[in-house]
Amino acid sequence: MAYRLYNRPGSGGFVVEAALALADADFELAELDSKPGTPLPESFRDHNPWRQVPTLILLDGSTMTETAAILIHLAACHPDKALAPPPGTPAHGAFLRWMVFANVNIYEAIIRLPYPDRYTTDPNGLEAVREASIARTGQALSVLENAIDPGPFLLGNAMSLVDVYVAMLFTWYRGDSDFPKLAALKAAVKQNPIVAAIWQRHFGDR
């Protein structure tokens, strides 16, 4: 049996698709014909009660959601592919730290741009939510920028799934702050021979 990934172009499912490719795992891609920022059909609730992608059907037929959790799980399922440092090492602790940080502080902040109505009941407050989203995302990216030492990746010379995740999130950022280390990280992820074609399909030259 193969994995089955529900995804749509330009969405957060990019990083799960890239992870499956980096793991050299067999998977079927069910690409939904809708744009990020628009709600999925009510029928998708059968796969994910939040009607969100990525949604991954595992090899045993069970369903997994939540991007960071999926990435951590895939890294554990395919240890020979070095998608993350070995569990129990300080580097793995850093991997988990930045994976959760990116999910909680960056992904959550960015999602307020297309879905500001989730964060206020005041219809006159939607623009303020969007402005706060950009500011909060920039603050969180500053933390990652300072954590890249020496680079080019968060954990040093070797790319892990957290770098692919962060590169995607950085691409979505709409602020104007300068983050040269994150820009270099994103460029390195985009140039990875396995990731490159998937990136191009989802994000073009961004």
pLDDT (tens digit, 9 = 90+) per residue, 6-56? Answer: 999 999 999 999 999 999 999 999 998 877 667 788 888 988 898 889 999
The segment(s) of the chain belonging to CATH 1.20.1050.10 are 90-192
- E strand spans, 32-171: 55-57, 63-64
The segment(s) of the chain belonging to CATH 3.40.30.10 are 3-81
- Mean pLDDT along residues 118-134: 95
Question: What's 90-192's CATH class?
Answer: mainly alpha
171 Cβ contact partners less than 8 Å away, ≥ 6 residues apart = 186, 203, 206
For residue 5, what is the enclosing H or E element? strand 3-7
Burial of 58 (0-12, 13-18, 19+ CB in 10 A): middle
Q: Per-residue confidence at 70, pLDDT binned at 50, 70, 90?
A: very high
Superfamily for the 3-81 domain: Glutaredoxin (3.40.30.10)
pLDDT, one tens digit per residue, over 147-204 is 999 999 999 999 999 999 999 999 999 887 889 999 999 999 999 999 999 999 999 9
